[in-house]
Every structure is written in C-alpha cells, then in structure tokens.
Amino acid sequence: MAIYRSHVLVCGGTGCHSSKSDEIKRKFEEKIKEMNLDNEVQVISTGCFGLCEEGPIVVIYPEGAFYSRMQINRVDRIVEEHLYKGRIVKEFLYEESIEADQIIPLSDVDFYKKQKRVALKYCGVIDPENINEYIANDGYMALGKVLTEMTPDQVIDVIKDSGLRGRGGGGFPTGLKWSFAAPNEADQKYIICNADEGDPGAFMDRSVLEGDPHCILEAMAIAGYAIGATKGFVYVRAEYPIAVQRLQIAINQAKTMGLIGKNIFETGFDFEVEIRLGAGAFVCGEETALMASIEGQRGMSRNKPPFPAVSGLFGKPTIINNVETLANIPQIILNGADWFRSFGTEKSPGTKVFALGGKINNTGLVEIPMGTSLREVIYDIGGGCPNGKAFKAVQTGGPSGGCITADYIDTPIDFDTLTELGSMMGSGGMIVMDEDNCMVDIARFFLEFTVEESCGKCTPCREGTKRMLEILERIAEGKGTLEDLDKLEKLGNNIKNTSLCGLGQTAPNPVSSTLKYFRDEYEAHVIDKRCPAGVCQSLLNYYIIDTCRGCTKCARQCPVKCIDGKVKELHVIDQDKCIKCGACMEACPFDAIIKK
C-alpha cells in the first residue's frame, strides 16, 4: 500500500457537495499531478466535518490545517505554498483556528471544543467509499469480537448495561428492545435500519450514512447476531441520493470481503443487507408504517401490540433501530458499557448529535455529551444569533417537538428534561429562532406539515390537526378570538390522547409549547390584531420612510393606486386602500418601504 506524506481531505457531505466541493477536489488532483506530487499527496473525499456554515471545507494533514469557505481559485496557491513548499496559507484558514498567529488544533476551536464524537467518530476522517480506511480504524473489529468471543445474550447485556437509548426520537432503551426479539422463535427475523429521516432540519442520519456507511452495516450485523436475524433492510429516504449511493458501495465492498453475506468470519453466521427506498412520506419514520412501506403498501401505522419485536416485517420478529443509534453500537462493543456511560447523564448516557440550524452563526452538525446545556450548544458551539439579534427560542424535535425559550436555556439536554419542558429530543434537529420569527407562524408551519403528512388512518390526527390548523390560520389573519386559544389547548390534548401513532400523539406539541411560553404573542394577534415579529402578512402594514426620494416607481407599480405623492417628494400609502401585495416594496430602489 502506498504511503503518502500529506492527505488532503475534502468534505463530501451534502452541504459542501452542494457548494461544488467535488470540483474543488478535482482541481486539487489536477494541480497535484501537474506539480508531480501525486506520489506524495493523497486527495480523498470524506463525510461531513460538521461546520457546514464555513463550507466547503478542506483539511490538510498532518498539519490539520482547516481551510474554510474554499474556492476553486485558491487551490493553486494552497498546492504551491502548502503542499510544495510546506507553508500553510494562513489567510485561507478558518479564522478561529488561528490564535496569535499560531495554528491551534481543531479540537481547541470553540465549535469543536465541547463536542465528543462517538456516532460521528469517523465522519470527516475516512473515505466513506473505501472499506480499507474503515478497517484500518478498527472497522468490523466489533463484529469480529461478538461473533468469535460473545454469545448473543452477552451482546444484548452489554448494550443494556450501556444504557443506550433510541436516538430516533422515542428514547427507548435499545438493549431492552433487542431482548424482546431474541427469545422469539421464528424461521426468519429481521433487522431494519430506520434512515427515513423526515424531521425537517435534521440531517445527522444522512451525514452518518454519507460519512461512515460501514459502521451502520457492522452494527446491523451485530444486532442480527444478537437477536438471531439473518436479513437486514436499510429504509432510506429517496431524497438522499448520495447516501444511497455510498451505502450501496459499502454493501458491495463488505460483501466482496466477506464481512457481510454467508458464513461471516467462518463462524456460520449469515447476514444480508438490502436497501429499500422511501418515497416521501414522513409517517414512514414510524416503525409500523415503515414496515408497511417495505412490504409494498401505503405507509400507514397500525396498533401496537403486537410489537414489531414479536410480529413485524412480513409478520416476523423485527428490530428497528435508527441510524444514529446503530452508529454507537460498534463503539460500545469495542470499548465497553462503562466507557459509554462515562459520557452523558445517568438516565441518558452517551452523546447526541444535533443539527444546528436557523438563526445561528455556526450552522452544522454537532455531537455533544448528554447533559450539556442549551446555552453551551447555542452560544459556545453555535456562536449565538447572527447580526446581533436577540435569541428568542430554540425548536427541538421537529414537528413532534416544541419551542424552548431563553428562560430555560440553562437546562441540561437529555431525553427527560426536554420532554418535561413540553418539547422532545426527536431526532435532534435544533432550529434557533430570533426576534424576527413569529411563534404563531412557526406553530402554523408545523401544523401544516402534520396535516399534509398525516396518513389519514385515525380520525383524531386526520381531522383534529386540520381543525387546529384552521384555527391557527384564522389567528394569523387577525380573525382569531380568545376562545380559539382555549380551543387549541383542548383539541391538542384530545389529539395527544387518542391518536394511533407517534405522529398524531406529538403533533400538537409545537402549538401547545408555543401557547405555553408565548401566550402573549398569540394574544397580540388575537386582541391587538398585531404580529409583534412582523411576519404574519395580513397583520402588517406597509409604510414609506423618509429615505424616499420621490421617484414615483412605487406609485406606478401599485395595482390599486393607493400611493400618493409628487415627484421628488415623500410618498404616502393610503392604509385603507392598500391590499398588502408588496409590489411597491419590491419596486423601491431606495429600500424606503418597510413592513411593520
């Protein structure tokens, strides 16, 4: 195997890929070849580094130089200076990685300092399309260990002892789940990896699949061994083409090397993995709906019991684990339950990956020990809200979760604390909102989502969420009453208590949590007919401010001729006639028209 003196790691995660990181990689390869360095320097494409805000990202080892916001035209200089002459091009480095003119290790940069990477351990480190890089980092060691040294019961015990809880949202203890399926006698059992990551604003599963697909295959095989399953399915969103492609490459490589397939490590254990694509239905993240979808039916959930561990896919005992949950398994097997318990809190051991997004400076993927406070995540890692705006709330758990306000920002994050606050962990989306976001609008946004995604099987979810949405739309239009607020609460409780599956049972959360913490904002919409954040269109008025030069452009654009004013004089909008179409604002070359 060739040995290289330098390695150029180009992020090939979705974010960086979208900003043309593959072209940057190609340019590096060309230039390196041109300079005759291709025997000394290797260029690889890796999974996500996490700091998507600063992408596209290129890291050069052994120095660990972190080049952010890379551009194609910077490649020549980096190759000539850094790779040829050994001088790091400091001006192109991520600015936080330089302190007093010295390059500091990445692990000391604010964004990475408080993180602990377990599930994302090899994301952004290895080439996901090369199985040898995974194997060189102890890949498939854990599978070897369980197959040759442990009984299935011992495997389940280790996972139980580790206290690992399902990272897909529910937080159910993984070891316990496995132990339900293990004793059931059946001619066939199944392992399913749930990669139907439907929560808007969450992309950790995608990043794991794209950055380290082999760890999922290894974990599925381990789970298969533990419960006696010989077949696995990965159910992945069709919206994730790169993830599907890398996973397929990984499956093919692992099969060729005999790491999945028949008689693995000559122990007589067989395990096959197949990919199944979703087709854009959020409800398929729910386990019974997901299984229906694999079977080729409409993705509708059904009553539990029987639980999938007893009667699941094709009526056989089935264990469904989320991607991030599985990503922890090989590490736990290799390092032991106590090691895993050394991070996180007593009831929620380990780490959790969050996708930080919205109004925050460092958007990206972060993995932190459970129990870290929201403040540390949002300010220390995330760098706070941009443009000096005030932090208002953070939304966790997607359409099933709720908003947490600044008052609770010191709460340590784990499964139970978030639920107590009326939100939930969910799959780990964390969307930060500032003073410009309207909470009624956000609640409406999520309800619209659930209404569209409800499978329609049970009445509370199908009809109830629709009625809630209608009330919210009324409020956003300024036609709501105080009675509506009580109705929302009552209806929400009914839906929570009577829906068939998790989708309906959690659907009212975005409304109930905003109603609880931002009742004043709802009241402003209802009583004063005002949207304090300036978002709800029907409640806004357009005004012309004194930067108006009197160019008359707006008056000419106005479809109802409600703008008055002479040339070179300040214009005025007649509020009674205005239909709030916004044409004037778009036409104004001086930004002199505002909405409030």
DSSP 491: H
Shortest approach of another protein to residue 581 CB, angstroms? 11
With beta carbons less than 8 A apart as the criterion, state whether 300 and 455 touch: yes
The tokens describing 279, both together, are 């087709």
Residue 88 vs 439, nearer CB to another protein: 439
Residue 122 vs 282, nearer CB to another protein: 282
Residue 183 vs 241, nearer CB to another protein: 241
Residue 369 vs 382, nearer CB to another protein: 382
Shortest approach of another protein to residue 277 CB, angstroms? 6
Residue 15 vs 480, nearer CB to another protein: 15
Residue 135 vs 277, nearer CB to another protein: 277
Reference 525, options 471, 450, 578; nearest CA is: 471
The tokens describing 36, both together, are 């005759």
With beta carbons less than 8 A apart as the criterion, state whether 189 and 318 touch: yes
With beta carbons less than 8 A apart as the criterion, state whether 391 and 385 touch: yes
Shortest approach of another protein to residue 85 CB, angstroms? 33
Distance CA 334, CA 222 (A): 12
573 alpha-carbon distance from chain centroid: 44
Residue 52 vs 123, nearer CB to another protein: 52
Question: Which residues form the interface with another protein (CB under 8 A)?
Answer: 14-15, 17-19, 52-53, 55, 197-203, 206, 238-241, 274, 276-282, 293-299, 314, 355, 357-359, 363-364, 395, 398, 429, 431, 433, 437, 442, 445-446, 455
Q: Which residues of 382-411 are buried (b: 16+ CB within 10 A; e: fewer)?
A: bbbbeeeeebbbbbbbbbbbbbbbeebbeb
Shortest approach of another protein to residue 198 CB, angstroms? 7
Shortest approach of another protein to residue 433 CB, angstroms? 6
With beta carbons less than 8 A apart as the criterion, state whether 394 and 374 touch: yes
With beta carbons less than 8 A apart as the criterion, state whether 72 and 20 touch: yes
Shortest approach of another protein to residue 529 CB, angstroms? 21
Shortest approach of another protein to residue 136 CB, angstroms? 28
Reference 510, options 529, 495, 527; nearest CA is: 495
Q: Please name the residues in contact with 297: beta carbons below 8 A apart, sequence gap of 6 or more.
A: none
Distance CA 33, CA 585 (A): 53
Residue 78 vs 365, nearer CB to another protein: 365
Distance CA 397, CA 384 (A): 20
Shortest approach of another protein to residue 14 CB, angstroms? 5
